[in-house]
Amino acid sequence: MNNLSKKYGDTVAVNGISFGLSKGEVFAFLGPNGAGKTTTVEILECLRAPTGGQAKVLDYDVSKRSDQSEIRKRIGVLPQDFNAIDRLTVRENIDYFGAMYDHQLDSDQLIELVDLKDKRDEQFKTLSGGLKQRVGLAVALVNDPALVFLDEPTTGLDPRARRDVWYVIERLKKQGKTVFLTTHYMDEAEYLADTVSIIDHGQIIASGTPNELIDAHGGKKTLVIREAGEDGLKFLPPGISRPQLKNEDDIYIPLNNGELTTILIAIGQTPLANKEIEVRRPTLDDVFLNLTGRRVSEEGE
């Protein structure tokens, strides 16, 4: 993508974004609701024309009519509000969508991949949200695509169902597929993605591996001493960065370089040594907060 943009009337949904994916990687496009994720994905899927800039998918140009059909043949798509045909079974749905392509993968193999063997003869409408998403993943893979777009594949699912979808995505990665994932879940990006771009108000505000983003924008690590109480504060060595009491009696200390050892040695002979002690690394949540001043979760669903 090169300086890609999309306006809907006066709304600038995508505002000059440029980036690329490497073959075989899981890429996460991470951002709050309304950031421009779906619009970007829809442009790459040739469902919408960009207002400006260029984009190529697998070396084909999304703005060239003759290239669009080549792109569609070679990509897999799980749209944001995926729905299959209610009254068909899992297997019938996969066969149905597969028949739209010249070349389709074996349905049983796909059912195995998304772990739906027990459900293959159940009607789509009877399935839970998580199982429906796994049918969606199978449908997205039915033409054996090199590149798969998954638009918010776990939004609205319970934690267990989200994990199950994650396992399927990990399997796709092992098969060498390139995965373009959008999500507003920080933990999802951190767990699955090789590289992440954070999008906000139609612009990319940071890109890198999760670790690079956390190192660059996450802020300090924190030493947490559980249930130490206000009394515990007096055992801390003088001169360390401001300790804070949180959750009533947990001590939180933002760590400067080298301070961890100093503190641990100093409290080694005090009652604090018997407390539960942990070092907390910042997360992508902290990255987003530091870059925007907001938490993604504040935006609502």
Ligand X SMILES: Nc1ncnc2c1ncn2[C@@H]1O[C@H](COP(=O)(O)OP(=O)(O)O)[C@@H](O)[C@H]1O
**Given the rule CB under 6 A, which residues bind ligand X?**
8, 11, 13, 31, 33-39
Q: Site mask, Mg ion, residues 29-68, x = CB under 5 A?
A: --------xx------------------------------
Q: How far is the CB of 11 from ligand X (least distance, A)?
A: 5
Give the C-alpha distances (Å, rounded to integers) separating 172 from 6, 147, 184: 30, 10, 21
183 belongs to the binding site for Mg ion (CB under 5 A): no
**Least CB distance to ligand X at residue 248 (A):** 38
Is the CB of 8 or the CB of 167 nearer to ligand X? 8
- Shortest Å distance, C-beta 144 to ligand X: 27
CB 146 to ligand X: min, Å: 23
Comparing CB distances to ligand X, the nearer of 37 and 132 is 37
Q: 55 by DSSP, 3-state: which?
A: coil
Position of minimal CB gap to Mg ion: 38
Nearer to Mg ion, 165 or 253 (CB): 165
Should residue 154 be labelled a site residue for Mg ion when binding is judged by CB under 5 A? no
Q: Which is nearer to Mg ion, 60 or 180 (CB)?
A: 180
- 68's contact among ligand X, Mg ion, none, with CB below 5 to 8 A by partner kind, is none
Q: Which does 282 bind (CB under 5 to 8 A by kind): ligand X, Mg ion, none?
A: none
- Judged by beta carbon, residue 32 or residue 98, the one nearer Mg ion is 32
